[in-house]
Structure 1
C-alpha cells in the first residue's frame, strides 16, 4: 500500500544525514515494525515519509505520490508524539474541531472517544490528561477518518505495561481488518511480538528487513523471563553470580547469560518463590503472539479502516486542500476555548475608559467618529479596533502554536480556504465587537454629559461605517501578519504599526495638499455617480471621504503588503513541499542552499 523510495534527510554542516537512502514497503493486513535505538533515525524516517520534514525521496500510496492525494487523512492516520492541541480545549472539543476540518459528522468524535476509552473523560481539558490519556487521544485523532494505514512513532514508549498492551492490541486489530500499520519502537521484544515484519535501522540506514519470527531467531538474544514477588532480591543474587539482569517491572526481570535451570536453583537455595520461570525463544515468541491476538476484532465496525471497494478514489490535485468545512472549523477553533472572551471584555472596558476621557475633554470638541468608536486622543487606535486586531492575530497565532491541522498528512494551515474562513469569522467578530463598544461608549457619555450633546449613532452612518471598517481592517491585519510571522505578538505589532508607522509614511509620501485632494475625491465621485451636489450625498459620500484619510490609506497599504507576503510564503512552502515529497533519489547530496 505505502512505498517509501530513497528517503534521505538533508544534512547540516557537512554532517551525515540522519536517514540515508531508506526504501521499504508497508503492506495491507500487516504490522511493519521499524526498530532502532534512540537516535537511529526512526522519527526522522516517519516525518520524511509523511512529508512533515524536508528531504529527498518519494512516498507512494497505491502508486500515487502522497502530496497528490485529495484526502490524505482517508488514507493515513499518524501518531507522531503528544497531541498538539490547545491545553484549555477538551478532548471532545478538539475532535469535533477536526471533524469540521475533515468534513466528518460530529458524531464521529464520540465514536472514536468510545473506541479509545476516553468517553468518560471527554470533557476534561487536555492539560489535565496523563501521558496514557494523551496517547489514547492521539489514536483517536489518527482513527478519526477511518484511515487504511496507521503511522505510529513509538506510541508505547514510557507507558505502563497495561497501556502498552492496549496499544499493541489496537494495532493488531487494525491490521487484522485489512489495514496497514507502520509501528516504530525501540523495544525489540515487544516489536517482534506485535509486528509481522521488522525493519531495523542503524545510523539512519536499513540493516535488516525480515519476518518477525526470523528476526527473533537470528538477531534477538535469548533470556530467562522471571516473575516473583521477591524479584529485586533475586536480581541482586543473580548479578553477584555474573548474570545480566534487566528489570521489566516491580515483579518481573529478564536474565541474560544463564539458563532457567540455574535461575531456579538460585531461587530454591535462598527460598525465593517464583511465579514464572521460562526461557524465551522464537517458538515462544510465535505462541505469545498467537495467544495475544483476539479471535474477534477489538474495535467496533464503525472504527474499522475502509476496505478497498469502499474507499473513495483519490483525486489528483496540486496541493492538499484546507479544511473541508473551513467556516465551521474556524468557529470551533476560535470559540472552543475561553481565550477570546478576556480580549472582548478588556476591549469593552478600555472603550468605556476612553469614553470617560472623551467626556472630560468635551464631546463638542471631538469628532463624531472618535466619539462613537471610543477613540480618545490618548489612544493610537480605538479599543474596539485594537481588540479586533488581537482576535485576528490569535486566529493564526494559535494555529501555529497549537497545530491541530497536522502538516504532511492533513489540511494545510496556510491554505487559501482557511485564510478566507479566518478573514470572514474575524470580520464578523470585529463588527460585533465594534457594535458592543459603540453601545458602551454612548452609554458612558450619556451618563457623564448632557444627553443632547451625545450624537445619535443612527444619525451618523458614515461614522459608524468608518469605525466598522477600521475594526475589520485591523482584524485582517492581525490575521495576515500572524499568518506571515507565525506568532500572535507580531500580529498585534502589525496592527499597532498602522498609526505609528504607516500613517507617517503616507503623510510623508503624499503631503498635506494631496491628502486633502484625495479626501475630497470620494465626495466628488459620489456626486458624479448620483447626480447630487458634492456637499450632499449623505453618509456614503462622507464614508468615501473618510477612506481618503491617512489612517485608512496606511491600513490599506499594510494589508496589501501583508497579502503579498502571505502569497509569497505560501508559494515558497508549496515549492519546498513538492521538492521534499516528490523527488525520488538514491541518497545523493543535498543541493546547495537547501535547508534542513
Structure 2
C-alpha cells in the first residue's frame, strides 16, 4: 500500500506549487490511476513520493518511508521518462548493469527479457527501439528486483492500442498477485477502463478520489456507439432530426463505419435508422471520455453488456426488429453470417453488471490461453484484437476462441535480494556502466590522436621541454589533452543517472550513495592512469618517428615527473566526478576541470606571492633537513618528489578544488538523507 500525506512541491518565485497538500492512498492488490490534464502535477507528485524532488510531505510504502527501507529497489519499481537508459547501450547490457545496482544475479536480466518479450532484441541498442519496445524495457527494469510496488508515469502515452492492452494486462497481473500499482494518465477513459481506483488532480490539488465504477458513472460522458456501413448518411439524419426537434445532440464520425452519438439514446438512434431503412450492425450505450472523439474504445463488454447496464444489439442486425411487411434494405458489402457454435446474447433480459475490481473474463473458463505474448486480462474491455470494441463472434471469419486469456500474464519468478550490501555491488555496477557503451573508448582514441598531433606541432615550433612534449602540454595550453580527457570521462560517470531517472534502481538516488562514489572514483582513477600511460607511450613513439631518438628518449628524473603526471590526470578525473555529482551535469563537471588552471591556479599563485605564505616556499628543503634524513633505504627522495609536486601552484589548486568539491558532495548527501 502507498500512503501519501501532504505532498507539496517547492514553489518557484511567485508561482503556485505544482502539487499542493496532496493526500491519497493506493491499496495493495489494486491498480490506482492518478488522473489529470497535462500540467496538473502528476509527474511532480511521483517525484515527491520517490524523493527525487524537494518539497514537503511524506510517503509510506507498506508503512515505511523510502529512506527507511533497506532495499528500496525490492520495494518500488519505477518507470519515469521515455528512454530508460543511454541510447548506445544494448538491451541486455542495460539490464545487467541494473542487476549489479540492485544486488540481484545477472541471470535475472534474461528472465525479465523473456517475460516482456524482448529476448530477440537483447543485442539491440536502446536508441533503435520503438516506443512500444521502449515501454516494455522500462517495465522490465521496474520488475528486475521483484518489487512489491510499481510506480509508472504515463506508461501508455503514445502507444498503439495493442501495446497498451498488453501493458495494462501486465499491471493487472502484478496487482492480482497482491502488488500495488500506481500509474498516471491524462485519459479519463483509460483510467476508468484499466484502474480500480481513480485519483483526480487539478492544478496540483486533489479534486476526487473514487472507485472506478463510481468515476465512470459520475465523471464520464455517456454516448451511443453505432456501427453501420452507411455512417455518413445516418450521421446527417440524426443531426437533421435533432435540429428540427431543437435537441442538443452531437454526432461524431470516428472513422470508417463507426459513429459516436452524444446526447441521445439507443432507442432514439434505432428509431431513426428504422424509419430511414439504414442498416445497423451495432448499437450500444457506452461510457466514453469527457468529450467527442472517443472512438470505439469506450467502456463496453464483449458479452454485450455495457458498463451502465444497457444491452448492445447483436452485430449484423438491424437497430430494431422490422416487421415482415417492411422491405429489408439491401445488404452492405459485408456478409452477415450468424455463427452457430457460440450463440450471441439476447437483447433481453439484460443482466446488470458493473465494472468493479472483480471483473469477469469474457471468454469461457475452459478456453486455454494462447501461447503468444500475454494479452490483457478481461478488465480491459476495449474489444478484441481489432480494438473496435465489437464481439469476436461478429467477425466475418469462422468462429474461433476469444483471444482474451483466462489467466493473467506470467510474471518473472520471485527472487531473493542479498540481505546485506556487498562492497563489490557498486564496483560491478560502475564497471558495467563504463564498459557498456563506446563513449569511453572513443574519448580515449580522440585523446591519443590529439596528444600526438599536439606533441608533433609543439616539437616543430620549439621552446618546449622534452618532458612537456611527452605529455603534449605546451605552455600555451591550460591542460594537456590527456587531463581534459580524464576529466571528461570522470564527468560522464554521473551522466546516465541524472539524465535518466528511471535508472535509479536504488531509492531513485543512486548517485547519493557513498559506496558508489568510491567505486566511481576508483574506476575513474584507473581509467585516468591507463590513459596517461598510453598517451606518453604514443607521444614518445610519434616523436621518435618524426624527430629521431633525441626527443624519444626517457627524460631525467622520470620518477618525479611520472608522479606529477599521474597526480594531474587522476586529480582532473576526480574533479570531473565530484563536480558532475554535485551539480548534476556533465558540462559542469568538465567546466570544473578546465576552471582549475584557468581560475584557481592564478588565485593560488597570487596568494603564493603574498607575505603570509612566502615562508612556505622552502617547505621541501626544510622537510628534507629535519625529518627525511631519518628515512631508511632512500625513501626521503620519493617523499621529496611528491612534496615538490604538491607544492606547485597547479597541485595546490587541484587539491583545493578536490577538497571543496568533496565537501559539497558530502553536504548534499547528508541533506538528502535528512530529508
What's the CA shift string for 1:535-578, capped at 9, x where partnerless? x9555543433332222222112211221222233334344xx2
> Which one of the candidate residues 399, 402, 409 is aligned to 1:298?
409
Q: How is 1:374-413 mapped onto 2 (pairs within 5 angstroms)?
A: 374-406=472-504, 409-413=507-511
Counterpart position of 2:547: 449
Q: How does 1:502-517 map to 2 (within 5 A)?
A: 502-511=600-609, 514=615, 516-517=617-618
Where 1:209 maps in the other structure, the secondary structure is strand
- 2 CA distance for matches of 1:335 and 1:250? 52
Partner of 1:591: none
Q: In the alignment, does 2:619 pair up with 1:518?
A: yes
Q: What is residue 308 of structure 2 aligned with on the other side?
A: 282
| Contact kept in structure 1, 2:104 and 2:418, CA below 8 Å | no
Of 47-56 and 100-109, the range deviating more from structure 2: 47-56
Q: What is aligned with 1:557?
A: 656
1:188 counterpart = 2:188: yes
Shift in CA distance, 542/247, structure 1 to aligned 2, threshold 3 Å: farther
Q: Which residue of 2 aligns with 1:26?
A: 26
Residue 431 of structure 1 deviates from its aligned partner by: 0.7
Query: Shift in Å at residue 357 of structure 1?
Result: 3.5
Question: Could you say which structure has the larger radius of gyration?
Answer: 2
Residue 521 of structure 2: which of 407, 412, 423 is its match? 423
Note the C-alpha offset of 1:250. Answer: 5.3
Distance 1:455-1:54 versus aligned 2 partners, 3 A rule: same
Which structure is higher in RCO with an 8 Å CA cutoff and minimum separation 6? 1
* Map of 1:342 onto structure 2: 442
Give the match's secondary structure for 1:182. Answer: strand
- TM-score of the pair, normalised by structure 2: 0.74
Distance 1:209 1:385, change over 3 A: closer
Match of residue 582 from structure 1? none
Matched residue count: 561
For residue 413 of structure 1, give the secondary structure of its aligned residue in structure 2: helix
Q: Counterpart of 1:49?
A: 49
Within 2, Cα distance between the matches of 1:409 and 1:532? 51
State how far apart, in whole Å, the 1-side matches of 2:556 and 2:426 are: 34
Distance in 1, Cα, partners of 2:256 & 2:459? 73
1:256 equivalent in alignment to 2:256: no
Which consecutive unaligned segments of at least 5 residues does structure 1 have? 316-320, 579-596
Q: State how 1:63-462 maps to structure 2 within 5 Å.
A: 63-228=63-228, 231=231, 234-235=234-235, 238-240=238-240, 241=242, 242-246=248-252, 252-267=258-273, 274-280=280-286, 281-283=307-309, 285-286=354-355, 290-291=361-362, 292-293=378-379, 294-302=405-413, 325-360=425-460, 367=465, 369-406=467-504, 409-451=507-549, 454-456=552-554, 460-462=558-560
SS of the residue 2:662 aligns to: helix
Greater Cα shift, 410-419 or 8-17: 8-17
Deviations, residues 509-530 of structure 1 (Å, cap 9, x unaligned): 2239656513445655774242
The alignment's C-alpha RMSD in Å is: 3.4
Larger helix fraction of residues: 1
| Distance in 2, Cα, partners of 1:123 & 1:84 | 16
Q: 2:647 aligns with which of 535, 539, 548?
A: 548
Deviates more, 1:486-495 or 1:456-465: 456-465
Report the Cα distance in structure 1 between the residues aligned to 2:545 and 2:123, rounded to whole angstroms.
43
SS at match of 2:226: strand
> Do the aligned residues in 2 keep the contact of 1:9 with 1:44 (CA within 8 Å)?
yes
CA shift digits 1:190-231 (9 cap, x unpaired) = 322322233333444444434333443444443222345665
**Which range moved further: 368-377 or 284-293?**
284-293
